[in-house]
Amino acid sequence: MSFQPSEPRPRAGITAVGSLLPDDALSSDALQREVARGSGLTLPPRLLTQATGIVSRRVAAEGVYASTLAVGAARRALARAGLGPLDLDLLVFASASRDMVEPATAHIVQERLGSRAHALDVTNACNSFVNGIDLARSMILAGRARRALVVTGETPSRAVRRTPADLAEFRSGFAGYTFGDAGAAVVVEAVERGGILDVDTETHSEHWEVGGIPGGGSRHPRGDAYTYFRGDGHELRGVFEKVGTAVIDRTLHRTGMDWDGFARVLVHQVTVPYLERFAELTGVPAEKLVVTVPELGNVASASIGVQLDRVFDELEPGEKALFVGLGGGISIMTMVWEKS
């Protein structure tokens, strides 16, 4: 019997990326002054800046929605790929923000782009975008799609309580003062080499109540009081410190890689102290990080997409990046990607 070589294993990869930032910038000092005026609270000077390391963030203007930012980023990604909207057969809107409860925001994005793809939403807090990329990859490897566009549009600045009633309410919503707005998009398609090489996840759902925006679902369908982010930032950080390194250690062990093997490490960024703590716990060299949080704040699931857009062109074919997603719920996700 003659030897028959096996078919090459199919691969899917990110071939283009785009991002979009709102025009309007809001400094932490200006945000703090607004909160102090609206609430009557006396707050320590530069509290927000010093506690978070966030100097400013971008905020979506009136009439700019999650879909608006996603569409702008999508157009840039498609242009970079040399593609048109009709070249897509899967469109995933993967975001913690959305335009409305129903229909899926993916349909709003699709209508504005003029595409005719299978369109759906994926939501998993700040891990939404990486989850969306993984879903697109899985659909391509399963033969269900040939080319996908994964987009996110994040407007968490609209979940910030600008007029807390008292100090307790200010503290309960403090993590929300880190938020900024942004959009990102990637094209995912079959590639001959490189691509997404490894994906791993770890989920600790017993911590789902630590932080979030409770309004808009069946528990609290109405009432402005539920539309603001609330949560204990210290508790969130504690949970991530406790469980967050295990999946990274597992990924490095399974792939046989160390930090020298990655040209860049793109990690979801909440605050400067948290990013510094992440580097300390994992040992990732600071020069491999793409630091955006001081100027953009916590842009939720758009964080990794914005970082990737900033370094995509400087990466050479064959160079690898590690994505590290952290999301409320609690979920941690890693993705090893090699530029094709």
Which residues are identified as catalytic? 126, 268, 298
Tokens of 290: 């793409």
Phi, psi of 75 (to 5 degrees): -60, -40
Residues in CB range of 316: below 8 A, 6 or more apart: 263, 339
CA atoms lying within 13 Å on the CB side of residue 144 = 10
Is residue 183 within a helix (H) or strand (E), and if so which, with residue range? strand 182-191
121, 105 contact by CB (below 8 A)? yes
| Nearest-angstrom CA–CA distance, 51 and 272 | 9
Count of CB atoms within 10 A of residue 203's CB?
17
| Nearest-angstrom CA–CA distance, 31 and 22 | 16
| Nearest-angstrom CA–CA distance, 153 and 69 | 5
